[in-house]
Copies of this chain bind each other. A is one copy, B any other.
Amino acid sequence: MPFTYEYPHPAVATDIAVFTLRRGALNVLLIERGAAPYLGAWALPGGFLQPDEELDECARRELLEETGVDADLLLHFGNFSAPDRDPRERVISVAYLALLASDELRLEASTDAAQARWFAVGDLPELAFDHAEILRRALEVLGSRARTISPLFALLPARFTLSQLQGAYEAVTGEEAEKRNFRKMVASLGCVSETDDFAHGSHRPARLYEAAS
């Protein structure tokens, strides 16, 4: 029996919610759309799946093309398939989230995007399409996974103080943590190892840690 699939194929795209910490606050990367629809509106970076490309690859490529940011760890967290979510034609959105250390970042908007910018998650502009909903879901997933700590390393430089790690944890979960209990938890997880160096600020230096082998 020959294959006949009588329905039109939808377009398939990825959208990526990239988070980082800036001045202790959780920020998300948005682009200003350079094309209709929603010309001039802010949106999550993303774009269409190409032939011979897996969805994960598509997400990484689109993010790099549109913002100059290369994220090697992308987590799929949901699909968005409302038939009218894109006014042009039917587009299935495959949503990813990523975490990045802010010292790795150099934003470069591409042709598709007029500009790329960080926004604190508590102070967001109106978003194009259903991206507000996608971002809301991304934040939910992020908060629920923060307790495993290890993803948080991606938000920090390679070497970090425990206070920085706690700050990342608090920014992602939205809850304050007890300093001593937090350190006990980190120690029991065994996912960091101390270095011989210290971060020098304006007060007592803090020991630097790194992700355990």
Contacts and interface: CB of A to CB of B under 8 A. Distances in A.
Q: Count identical subunits in the complex.
A: 2
Contact of A90 (B36, B51, B76): B51
A94 B94 CA distance: 10
A12 to B, nearest CB: 6
A37 B3 CA distance: 8
A83 B53 contact: yes
A51 B7 contact: yes
A60 to B, nearest CB: 13
A197 B51 CA distance: 59
Contact of A54 (B12, B37, B51, B83): B83
Nearest to A54: B81
Interface in A4-39: 5, 7-12, 35-37, 39
A52 B83 contact: yes
Interface of A: 1-3, 5, 7-12, 35-37, 39, 48-56, 76, 78-79, 81-83, 88-90, 92, 94
21 contacts: A1-B39, A2-B36, A3-B35, A3-B89, A5-B11, A5-B48, A5-B89, A7-B51, A8-B9, A9-B12, A10-B12, A10-B49, A49-B81, A51-B83, A52-B83, A54-B81, A54-B83, A55-B79, A55-B92, A56-B81, A79-B94
